[in-house]
């Protein structure tokens, strides 16, 4: 079996998986306790998929009853790009979303690896492949397999590679010897990630409060971005990399070999705010961002983000299209955040809009008006 494991790892590397590890399908008991504490603290925010089937997350065999081993794989997505400059016009995109959607890029190679494993095993095997799509504590499984260790920013860190990688898994009905080993490296006294977070999203080391996290607020969050956190969003139109950018382990990062994940394959490292705010329909939005991770928050979410960023970076060129969104957009979420942005960028033009929208049919828009007026009078 040791020879089979070596063959599996070699096949994984040949397919572009930078690191492969084997772990058992035994419960992840320690991590389950931490996950339950995190959930019960309210840190999952609106991510209901993290709280629905809680009995599965730490129990691979509950997820796939016939599984005998878990193969965990790391995919490097790091890519270099020019230093970001908002130029009063651009919003910044998190690095993982510069290229094509990683789900679509990774799945075919997982299937190819499973097919190779079947050939190497010399028998028909059962295999299920996952890319960030099932209730499994995948970072915990990868840590148990020795792929990395948990950083204070809750990312999984590889000592010689950093944290710019995706995780994927293949559960198989093969009894493979586990790599199970704990990496004896830690963040030590370093707390750069905790101190650098623009919205103070860390409740403490190893504890991320999603309710304050820019990545959550701009991607998974379906509602309004809280007023008190909007300035902290800064230039981030989609996701956030701050806690990884400052991590000393990421000085070891090297460019990905996956062409699908490189910036030239997708939207790249920044978006033109005026262009994004000019997208008037869902159809136009889907055509513009098809095949990329930026479809995740849908049009309403991305334009909400663009409005906030436009205000934060002083994009006065966006005022006309923001007013267009306020006057004609069917989405209250977009109208309300556009109004907030115009009030920041051009108070004179915002005043008549506020007076009219105080009578808007949607309570979210009316509330936005009252909050803006309240801010101005205090």
Catalytic residue numbers, as ranges: 132
Closest by CA to 233, choosing from 337, 101, 97, 87, is: 337
CA 369, CA 124: separation in Å to the nearest integer? 63
Q: How many residues does the chain have?
A: 378
Which residues lie closer than 8 Å to 218 by C-beta, 6 or more apart? 225, 233, 236, 237, 238, 239, 240, 297, 301, 305
d(Cα 12, Cα 21) in Å, to the nearest integer?
A: 10
Question: Do 331 and 323 form a contact (C-beta atoms < 8 A)?
Answer: no
Which residues fall within 8 angstroms of residue 365, CB to CB, at 6 or more apart? 332, 335, 336, 339, 357
Angle in degrees, CA 78, 84, 86, rounded to 5: 145
Q: What is d(CA 81, CA 98) in angstroms, rounded to the nearest whole number?
A: 10
- In angstroms, the CA 215 to CA 47 distance is 12
Residue-wise DSSP of 143-189:
HHTTS-EE-TTS-EEBTTTBS-EEEEEEEESS-------------TT
Of the candidates 168, 170, 172, 147, the residue with the CA atom closest to the CA atom of residue 157 = 147
């Amino acid at each position: 079996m040791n020879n089979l494991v070596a063959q599996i790892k070699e096949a994984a590397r040949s397919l572009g998986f930078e690191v492969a590890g084997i772990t058992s399908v035994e419960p992840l008991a320690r991590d389950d306790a931490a996950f339950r504490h995190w959930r019960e603290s309210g840190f999952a925010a609106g991510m209901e998929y993290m709280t629905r089937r809680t009995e599965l997350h730490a129990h691979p065999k509950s997820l796939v009853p016939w599984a005998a081993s878990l193969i965990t794989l790391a995919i490097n997505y790091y890519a270099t790009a020019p230093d970001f400059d908002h130029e009063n016009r651009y919003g910044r995109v998190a690095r993982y979303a510069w290229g094509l959607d990683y789900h679509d890029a990774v799945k075919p190679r997982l299937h190819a690896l499973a097919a190779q494993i079947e050939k190497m095993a010399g028998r028909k095997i059962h295999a299920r492949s996952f890319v960030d799509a099932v209730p499994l504590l995948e970072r915990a499984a990868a840590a148990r397999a020795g792929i990395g260790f948990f950083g204070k920013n809750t990312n999984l860190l590889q000592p010689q590679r950093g944290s710019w990688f995706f995780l994927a898994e293949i559960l198989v009905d093969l009894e493979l010897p586990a790599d199970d080993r704990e990496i004896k490296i830690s963040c030590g006294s370093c707390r750069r990630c905790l101190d650098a977070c623009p919205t103070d999203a860390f409740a403490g080391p190893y504890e991320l409060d999603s309710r304050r996290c820019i990545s959550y607020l701009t991607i998974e969050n379906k509602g309004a971005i809280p007023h008190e956190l909007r300035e902290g969003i800064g230039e981030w139109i989609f996701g956030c990399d701050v806690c990884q950018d400052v991590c000393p382990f990421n000085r070891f990062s090297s460019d990905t070999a996956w062409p699908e994940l490189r910036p030239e394959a997708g939207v790249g490292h920044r978006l033109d705010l005026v262009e994004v705010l000019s997208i008037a329909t869902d159809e136009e939005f889907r055509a513009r961002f098809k095949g990329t991770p930026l479809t995740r928050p849908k049009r309403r979410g991305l334009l909400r983000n663009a409005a906030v960023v436009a205000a934060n970076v002083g994009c006065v060129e966006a005022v006309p299209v923001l007013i267009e969104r306020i006057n004609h957009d069917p989405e209250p979420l977009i109208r309300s955040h556009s109004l907030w942005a115009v009030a920041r960028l051009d108070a004179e033009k915002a005043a008549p809009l506020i007076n009219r929208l105080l009578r808007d049919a949607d309570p979210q828009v009316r509330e936005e008006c009252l909050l803006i007026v309240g801010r101005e009078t205090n």
